[in-house]
Structure 1
């Protein structure tokens, strides 16, 4: 073509990074935060989380943040709010043939309608508008969540982490549809490089869980289903445990190749967030960073019959269900398969060892030697 029209042709290649979606799941169990009130109040924790979320948004103009509350009996959105997550429909104001519409979804109107402690907040020139939007929505939704907490929720020691993971995965899948892939190249794992799902969708996504409760054995099955779905989609699950025993979340981080941190001092929440989870999966420097993690992973599972965490159990050969004891009638409670236990409980067969005959030692002239088959002794030199 250059020889025909005498013009130079160049290929335009996009070198900017893909947008990143960070979904933060905050454990808002009232009883757990009451135990941490002297060390790390919930208000200070939310302030540190806001700083971390704003730092993620500052990495790139295309980055996004979502915050989900994992409460005692439910999971709710903190940001974006359910009303603002979908654009409002407009209707004509000038009749059937009118062209003017009511601009009810204008950013200025939404900012003016946002209230904090009952007072109308105004946008400040010293604060980035997106930072102010995240802060206003998060604080307002947290206050409403605390106000709607019933007295029966105060006695729960666990949280609905499985429901929060399901909401996070659904939001990531919906958001990825708006980012078609514009890149080409090989896809690799989720540890520092782009995954297959991210390469296909054009969006890097990860989930960060801030846990303060113990793992609930009753939620083992739905939690593991969500974890395997995240692993299949190439979504890393990072976990920061401030309190309690997060057994299943530790397995979730290992399966999805995420980062698991157990905070020794909850007061350093912001330090753990910035230094442990600050590098995004799409960052160019993330491949050269070694994320901190634990060396020992607790792989114990919960049985399907009594929802107890067991070290040793019985596994169905068909559906892989785990039982802490043999079901009644040796029948699987999940798929109904008749289980054959064989000779379980029988003592193993012991093969007797062949005992070697010891040689008797005899003494001659004060010297000892082993007895041999010969009656005469060894001839000595003259």
Structure 2
């Protein structure tokens, strides 16, 4: 009766697909959306995007979503809404004097609960629309005149930081639970991932040559963390985002009809990393691997590269010094010198046998010119 039960029991763990974290970066450049207002206004694009987010959350109850806005001057969160510091929130709750009296302020705003709507759907819709309205209302004319591009590099960096934090929270505790053990477990190639993450960029802006260095740094960081970057290009042409998809294994899609945004989202970008292993993904075709020079921030086909820091220049520096690492460049004079044009030699025409010379006399040994004999 008191013997130890040595019966072997096999524990069958959870074998289903892991939950997926979808981080969406919306390009909210007012200049680009004004250009698309006739075919796809921003309000319609957001409505289609909310349907896509609801479909992602409905696939798995453990799925997560985060939405960032890549604006002209900065990148800001649309969902989840950043919480204020604890001290500021406590002061706002207890009154202006900051005294803790135990009372709770009663808000006059009606409740947003709707029994006919799934609560996660309602939370995403309410916070995203409210934060987007606040972002557009805070954008002044001076901000629009100062910059016509969008801050994609900052949005990518913020998304990668959020994904890294979410992976640490979802990972099981290893060792003593310190940062070194968690980082080692996350970098292990054989570790089972408890959360698959990906980034989707809804881009409408064009030139990003001025952000070449931070964008490439974000691409390499996503490649190391095995985070695919998907690009849905509605307008403009950006070669660096196409390189991001190629380096991270994401999907690059540039639809010819932007008004069919919802169909492109549901058919191409809804499957997560686990489902994509069993699907035939759309191909981006030929990838443009051109780079931007460090001196003028323009895309070049052929340039000069520093052998120390690998900086790219469209033309040799005037003082033969790399402006990035101050290394002395040894540019050959034959490269910088204007090439001289060498005149082309005239070829002598070969004389054919029996051909008359310019003087009119025939070549010796050949019959002279005369009438054609008439056969008898």
TM range (shorter): 0.7 to 0.9
**Kept after mapping to 2: 8 A contact 1:215/1:248:** no
Equivalent of 2:196 in 175, 196, 204:
204
**Which residue in 2 is equivalent to 1:11?**
11
Q: CA–CA distance in 1 between the matches of 2:191 and 2:52?
A: 25
SS of equivalent residue, structure 2 residue 52: helix
Alignment of 1:19-30 (within 5 A): 19-30=19-30
**Which residue in 2 is equivalent to 1:32?**
32
Asked whether 1:227 is paired with 2:209, we answer no
1:12 deviates by 2.6
Alignment of 1:12-91 (within 5 A): 12-83=12-83
Alignment of 1:182-261 (within 5 A): 199=191, 202-261=194-253
Q: Which runs of 5+ in 2 are unaligned?
A: 92-100, 174-186, 355-376
Distance 1:24 1:85, change over 3 A: farther
**Which residue in 1 is equivalent to 2:155?**
164
Give the alignment's TM-score, normalised by structure 1.
Answer: 0.76
Asked whether 1:140 is paired with 2:95, we answer no
Distance 1:235 1:134, change over 3 A: same
Matched pairs, number: 321
Distance 1:196 1:297, change over 3 A: farther
Residues 28-79 of structure 1: per-residue CA shift (max 9 Å, x gap): 0001111111111111100111111111111111110000000011100000
**Which residue in 2 is equivalent to 1:272?**
264
Equivalent of 1:179 in 170, 173, 183:
170
1:4 deviates by 6.6
Alignment of 1:118-157 (within 5 A): 120-155=110-145, 156-157=147-148
Asked whether 1:344 is paired with 2:335, we answer yes
Give the alignment's TM-score, normalised by structure 2.
Answer: 0.77
1:298 deviates by 1.4
**Kept after mapping to 2: 8 A contact 1:29/1:70:** yes
1:299 deviates by 1.2
Equivalent of 1:335 in 302, 308, 325:
325
Distance 1:288 1:200, change over 3 A: closer
**Which residue in 2 is equivalent to 1:377?**
none
1:6 deviates by 6.6
Q: CA–CA distance in 1 between the matches of 2:102 and 2:200?
A: 38
SS of equivalent residue, structure 1 residue 124: coil
1:165 deviates by 0.4
SS of equivalent residue, structure 2 residue 274: coil
Distance 1:71 1:103, change over 3 A: farther
Residues 312-332 of structure 1: per-residue CA shift (max 9 Å, x gap): 110011111000100122111
**Which residue in 2 is equivalent to 1:323?**
313
SS of equivalent residue, structure 2 residue 229: strand
**Kept after mapping to 2: 8 A contact 1:26/1:69:** yes
Residues 89-108 of structure 1: per-residue CA shift (max 9 Å, x gap): 999xxxxxxxxx9899xxxx
**Kept after mapping to 2: 8 A contact 1:212/1:242:** yes
Alignment of 1:297-316 (within 5 A): 297-316=287-306
Q: CA–CA distance in 1 between the matches of 2:5 and 2:335?
A: 84
Q: Which runs of 5+ in 1 are unaligned?
A: 92-100, 183-194, 363-382
